Amino acid sequence: MDMIPLDDPIWDTLSCHNISGREFADILKEYYAGSIPAGEDLWEDILQCICGGNVYDSSLAAAPHLVHLASRCTPSAASAMLYVAAMAIAEASREDAQFDTRLTAPLQKAARAGEIEARKLLESSRLDETARQETELSLLALSGDTTAFWETIEKDWAQHPATVTVLQPKPPQIQVNWGSDQSSSFTYNSGQ
């Protein structure tokens, strides 16, 4: 599969949500080294490419890598990686999309490989319900039905607006408790 090498200077010019494209390339290097986090930690990493529904140009460069890595990790991690790759592929296929062709050229092969990986995941019985739904949705974009992919996402966001706001940073809610039998106060973050 064609991929932009992780040491390519183009990563220095790419954008992410809170980090640079170079930092995201370094995260992907760690994944290749076998340090793929699970659950929320994985989502925190890969949401740098699609936060709040925004797809950054680093997503396009990362998509082939995420598809390739999906075959090397747990089903839930694979599902998350394929979802982010599918969103990048679907975004690049929009009629008004204007991205560097160096970023978009590898996406067709990545979509084919991602479709195969998504079908393998769906055939396995090792996916929980959320991961199964993510993978089914990813399969729409990976197989070329980006219209249905975007319609499903927009419909889901309209029905469940909380899923969108989860991606937005929340300010911490600090509470100070003074205890009469304690010699000092303590604080904790009640926003988590």
Sequence-ordered strand ranges (E) for the chain: 174-178, 185-189
3-class state of residue 20 by DSSP:
strand
Of 74, 67, 77, nearest in space to 113 by CA: 67
Q: Is the pLDDT reported for residue 180 higher than 50?
A: no
Look up the pTM and report it.
0.78
Every domain of the chain and the residues it spans: 9-189
Mean local confidence (pLDDT), 54-72: 92
The pLDDT of residue 93 is 86
Token duo for residue 16: 């992410």
166: how many CB neighbours lie within 10 A of its CB? 12
The pLDDT of residue 183 is 46
The pLDDT of residue 36 is 92
pLDDT in tens, 97-127: 788 888 999 999 999 999 999 999 999 877 8
Q: Is the pLDDT reported for residue 165 higher than 60?
A: no
Confidence of residue 18 (pLDDT cuts 50, 70, 90): confident
Percent of the chain scored above 70 by pLDDT?
A: 80
Contact 122, 84 (CB under 8 A): no
User: What is the overall mean pLDDT for the chain?
Assistant: 81
Least confident of 19-23, 108-112, 155-159: 155-159
Residues 6+ apart with CB under 8 A from 100: 57
The pLDDT of residue 96 is 74
The pLDDT of residue 52 is 66
Q: Is the pLDDT reported for residue 51 higher than 80?
A: no
The pLDDT of residue 157 is 59
